[in-house]
Structure 1
């Protein structure tokens, strides 16, 4: 289904970066054991393979090289030391990004649809991060990889994979904005003129004990000489589908929620759409999973950007991870009941409001974030997370051949998360990506359509 045409390494231009290191903060350390993030952008390109190889790949390589000059951590490695010493991102001369060019015989028009499609069809289109190597007394872990895949006379995809320690969605979108700008204009002059470059200074103030807490999280001891990154593999019985909430529909839902829950603390487009999907997923599980305890709990986790919420605030271009969890917990039987949507709205709205409006600072209780984000306690077996954010206009990722035909977050297959992004047609519309076992997806679609159509 996929044939590799070229495999090469892309470095920053010679003598532009040198030796640099970037210390991790606890915001980064918490993601040491997180699986890689896989994203796919599909573009229309109704031309021949020779035209693709001659016109597309050279531009992508050149622009990526210049981008890496300014975003050097993407071409760097994560250095993990023994004896719980804090890891760092390190760049040395010669460091580079693995860049693969491939050709696929898969049905391009099927892949870019919204209907349920087999998840494992997408796996050959995203690159693995690569092998972890033992160097002297430390581990060197790659952080970023790119794969460009051509579909004969139809289009191409750009798959990117990154270790979550590298950055969050905000930083990654800054990287993509620069890469696409250079690809379109041929140089970084526009960006340099505007002064819009990553901010690397670690000005973040927090208790040093948080570093120690997250360096001692369960599983860190597994980062030894035998450690390798868990890349996405197939086959799987899951399918993925995309659901669109228009601005008009969202406003109707918000108006109804405000009437039903007049004292609800937080009713936003993001919260009501997430609550809508959460309740539909809970209902779709009925009949597919055994429920022995009617008081069983479910958890929904979304991330808030803390750059402008911590004291003192950080620049919007601060490089790395700077997100904290908003966690909603409620009973499964309530979530899957007749008023499940309202239960979800109230629970999630309260969680978001309490997190972003803490009077004693958003970092309060940060020592418990590992359990909120990564670990699923035995008493809360069902967890849903959110990948992406509508604050990032993901369909603006235009390298010069037009906006993406379709965007997919492939890594949501791993843990049952959903993706939430601004839609292609109108950024006020929201696009939800979902990955479920095929039969459960059928149930979800029926439940979703029934509830969705009730708001007219």
Structure 2
């Protein structure tokens, strides 16, 4: 279904970056073993492959090169040293000549089907996002690629742009700043507009140093093997899952929020994000109960979302701070309660309290930092199910316009890896929210039915 037209490497313009390194903070080290993040943008493009190759590709190569000059970590490697005592932490390192892998391809699948909202087989998307590529062994370190791009043309129909990054590189906020810069340069041909209207990345490590957190996250199970080899989890088919996207419009969200405020007047945190996540969480639990046998009344589920801590640090960090600066908000509830008649109320109370506890704590956002790894990645036996959230409505993902229009559709492909959902503003209105899901086919059918019936029959 996919024909590779060109494999190439894109570097910043010569002598614009040189040899540079970026230390990792505990925010970055937390994600050392996280699977790569895969994102996919679909754009309508009713032109031939020849037109695509002659006009689009040269501009994307040129604009990516200039963008990498300002965002050098994207063209760098994660350097993991072999020292057994962790005396040298991993770092992001750029040397002159480093480059980003860019794949140009053609696909014969149905573009409009892939860019739809209905359930589609997950493995149809896997060849549209690039792997990071192999790690390179040095004398005393392992160099792991951090970023890759794939541009795929669908003859006379559309284009997809797939990007893959190691989570150590950055969080969603930093990546969005990179995409804003790249698209601005692609539209204008130079970086003049970007430099005039946007702030450059803040590379200074402004996060207060905490040796105990660094040591703890460097001692994660699996880090030792990371020093010897790197085998990231890859998206491979066939998959038994399907992916679909559902939309909650502003008016319905407002109705749900008012209903929650009446039912739970003492709940201190009620936002569009919290009620939408809670509603989806309860619908996922109900759909699972419908297609699977529940293991018992004491089975628990965990819901995790990430909060941006830049403005919540003391002192606050600039919004352009480069890297990771997020921490987990964790809600836990019994599966039997989530799948029951009051499942949504259970979920919305749990999610609201979890977010409020994390972002409004008087003791600072680092109060429970020593528990972050366990919150994010370790599932105790009594909590076999976890739902995470990729994306954030605070970032206008449908503004990623390279010059031929806004995306027809956006997908977070890597939610297939761990049962997460994606939550973003919708294409048509920043007040509406899109929810992306990846579920077994039978459960997806049950989920959509439960989701729609719940909206029709509740919250009045």
TM range, normalised to the smaller chain? over 0.9
1:246 aligns with 2:246: no
In structure 2, C-alpha distance between the alignment counterparts of 1:125 and 1:60, rounded to whole Å: 17
SS at match of 1:192: helix
Q: How far 1:206 moved relative to its partner? A: 4.1
Match of 1:423 among 410, 422, 426: 426
1:450 aligns with 2:453: yes
TM-score (norm 1): 0.99
SS at match of 2:294: coil
Corresponding residue for residue 410 of structure 1:
413
In structure 2, C-alpha distance between the alignment counterparts of 1:421 and 1:347, rounded to whole Å: 21
1:332-351 map, 5 Å = 332-351=335-354
Corresponding residue for residue 87 of structure 1:
90
**Mapped contact 2:392–2:424 kept (Cα < 8 A):** yes
Corresponding residue for residue 380 of structure 1:
383
Corresponding residue for residue 37 of structure 2:
37
1:1-32: per-residue Cα shift (whole Å, max 9, x none)? Answer: 00000000000000000000000000000100
**Mapped contact 2:290–2:446 kept (Cα < 8 A):** no
Corresponding residue for residue 62 of structure 1:
62
The change in CA–CA distance for 1:101 and 1:56 in structure 2 (over 3 A counts) is same
Match of 2:107 among 104, 108, 121: 104
Q: How far 1:195 moved relative to its partner? A: 5.1
Q: Which moved more, 1:425-434 or 1:283-292?
A: 283-292
Corresponding residue for residue 219 of structure 1:
222
1:107-166: per-residue Cα shift (whole Å, max 9, x none)? Answer: 101001100000000001000000011111100000000000000100010000000000
Q: How far 1:229 moved relative to its partner? A: 2.0
Corresponding residue for residue 276 of structure 2:
273
1:76 aligns with 2:79: no
Q: Which moved more, 1:200-209 or 1:277-286?
A: 200-209
Give the unaligned 5+ runs of structure 1: none
Match of 1:210 among 208, 213, 233: 213
TM-score (norm 2): 0.98
1:395-446: per-residue Cα shift (whole Å, max 9, x none)? Answer: 0000000000000000000000000001110001000000000000011011
1:352-371: per-residue Cα shift (whole Å, max 9, x none)? Answer: 00100110101001011001
Corresponding residue for residue 189 of structure 1:
192
Corresponding residue for residue 27 of structure 2:
27
**Mapped contact 2:10–2:64 kept (Cα < 8 A):** yes
Match of 2:292 among 276, 289, 294: 289
1:311 aligns with 2:304: no
Match of 1:129 among 114, 128, 132: 132
**Mapped contact 2:332–2:350 kept (Cα < 8 A):** yes
In structure 1, C-alpha distance between the alignment counterparts of 2:295 and 2:252, rounded to whole Å: 36
Match of 2:329 among 309, 326, 329: 326
**Mapped contact 2:25–2:209 kept (Cα < 8 A):** no
Corresponding residue for residue 359 of structure 1:
362
Q: How far 1:46 moved relative to its partner? A: 0.2
Corresponding residue for residue 3 of structure 1:
3
Give aligned pairs, total.
Answer: 456
1:439 aligns with 2:442: yes
Give the unaligned 5+ runs of structure 2: none
**Mapped contact 1:131–1:229 kept (Cα < 8 A):** no
In structure 2, C-alpha distance between the alignment counterparts of 1:224 and 1:17, rounded to whole Å: 27
**Mapped contact 2:200–2:320 kept (Cα < 8 A):** yes
In structure 2, C-alpha distance between the alignment counterparts of 1:236 and 1:338, rounded to whole Å: 32
